[in-house]
Chain A
Amino acid sequence: MNLFNIFDSITQVDPEFNERVSPRRDAIRNMMSFGKKVSLAAMPFVLSDLFKRAYGQTPTDVNGVLNYALTLEYLEAEYYTIGASTSGLVPTGAPAGAIATIRDHEVAHVAFLKQVLGSNAVDKPTFDFTAGGAFANVFSNYDTFLALAQAFEDTGVRAYKGQAGILKGNQVVLTAALQIHSVEARHASHIRQMRRARGGAAANMKPWITGANDSGIGAAVDPIYAGEDEKVQAGVDITTLNGVSGKISTAAATQSFDEPLAATAVLNIAGLFIK
């Protein structure tokens, strides 16, 4: 399921794909008009066409960041709303309680961002959480559901982090973005614990991210974790610093700093789930 490798092909076909930044107010609307179902085989071409419109969303100002955030929150809110209301998917008791808690937060984030943006808020896109069939059992298989939840949460944490610079010095908006950002990190931590409790490929899952892809899902989600293996911060190689016995390990160095993800990369990932 090397779905994300598709992006490599896209960048080869369209070399300017990653460089081009052309903010377009109506990009979301354009994406929404892209409504027809696509087969996985056709995706490289179709996605290329989609992203020529979608990547215009790269935010350049405060409202851009807020709408970018709102789009991601729409995605998460709808995902957990469907998951929580699908009978037989999430086991009752602690798992159902946790998913309901997370759903409530994502729904609250949507409402909060819409309120802040007022008439500038983008509309909710139409989502396809199977990503064109790649995750066909997302709402019938609990492990797939949790795996994608982890992917969304870890992506969300990286996405907010990547936009902090645009909001620098803004007491109200930056603080609110940081307050949402840390809630997403709390969610990621808990979802990772839920996956560990399921065993299997996630049996060794930790609440924090180790290296470039510790998801247990495989190379399909490499783009979500690309760069998380960074061990140099502000010119300081963390593995040269003193730990308790010897230097800080490479694992601890990568775990102790979460890395940002650029908007184009985030939109590429989110775009898979937008019809």
Chain B
Amino acid sequence: MKETTSTKESLTAAEQQLSSKQLQRRNFLKLAGAGAAGVAFLGMVGCSKDDDNGPDQGGDGLYFGSGDIAILNYAYALEQLEAAFYIELANKPYSGISDWERTLFTDIRDHEIAHREFFKAALGTNAITNLEFNFSAVNFSSRDSVLATAKTFEDLGVSAYNGAGWLIKNEAYLGLAGKIVSVEARHAALVRDLISNGSFANSEVVDSNGLDVSKSPTMVLQAAAPFIKSKVDVRDLPTY
């Protein structure tokens, strides 16, 4: 319990730091091209109200914040995406779904909701609002289509946490990312095995050094873009 209390204090401390970080945002803006250049789907140019407190409500996208807050919102966005997908899957199970698969996907849905709601609670007023998604490319009645999409999301989630870890300044946040990423990896392995038993960690995702995939926030957002309807403003999201 002592540990969780100190974590809570860290969250508050980081939130307090946020306002000073926001003061610096004007300077960040001059460099904005650097961080967000590769993110094609962001209609962020000319975004206004940058010096207000809290997320940008009136500009061209949901503002993620900067520093660790931006990374937490980035994780929150990915968890929103996964949760929305698995809620849809559970509501419209594909034809021929087995009882065991139904149990597993209900579990996974609840894990992603737990992650989503956790980030929402932890971010408090810094949390972005609910994103809207576009799953029109998914045929929810087809097992193949659903599993292929689940595989994409889970492998992407693993690569996202792996790639963002070193950008996180606060040790408690890093610890939380670590607690979540291995659960995503357990999901990824399972979904892969449902598609083809034994593919849980094949050479698509594990290299010759035995290392899993790692992707920068920019790369991950590009991959997720086709599924995200809402405009997001990630100009201050740390990336590389």
Q: State the A residues within 8 Å of B (CB).
A: 94, 97-98, 101-102, 104-109, 111-112, 157, 160-161, 164-165, 168-171, 174-176, 178-190, 193, 206-208, 232-236, 238, 241-244, 248-249, 252-253, 255-260
Contacts of A249 in B (CB 8 A): 110
Residue interface mask B76-118, A partner, CB < 8 A = 1? 0000000000010010000000000000100101111111011
Residue picked from B4, B114, B206, B208, most chain A C-beta under 10 Å = B114
Q: In the complex the two chains form, is A234's CB within 8 Å of B110's CB?
A: no
Residue of B nearest to A115 (CB): B209
15 pairs, CB–CB < 8 Å, chain A vs chain B: A94-B198, A108-B209, A164-B175, A182-B184, A182-B185, A185-B189, A186-B206, A189-B188, A189-B189, A189-B193, A190-B193, A233-B7, A252-B107, A252-B114, A260-B178
If A108-B208, A170-B166, A234-B11 touch, whether A179 touches B186 (CB-CB below 8 Å) is no
Q: How far is the CA of A242 from the CA of B4 in the complex (A)?
A: 20
Starting from the known contacts A157-B182, A182-B181, A256-B115, 18 additional A-B residue pairs (CB-CB under 8 Å) come to A104-B210, A108-B209, A111-B209, A160-B178, A164-B178, A168-B174, A169-B169, A182-B184, A185-B189, A186-B200, A189-B190, A190-B200, A207-B186, A208-B187, A252-B111, A255-B110, A257-B179, A259-B179
CA distance A185 to B178 in the complex (A): 11
Query: How many A-B pairs fall under 8 Å by CB?
Result: 214
Q: A176: which B residues are within 8 A, CB to CB?
A: 211
> What's the Cα separation between A152 and B174 when bound, in Å?
23
Chain B residue numbers with a CB within 8 Å of A97 are 198
Complex Cα spacing A187 to B210, Å = 12
Tell me whether A189 and B185 are in contact in the complex, defined as CB-CB below 8 angstroms, given that A179-B212, A182-B158, A234-B122 are known contacts: yes
Q: Are A169 and B183 in contact (CB under 8 A)?
A: no
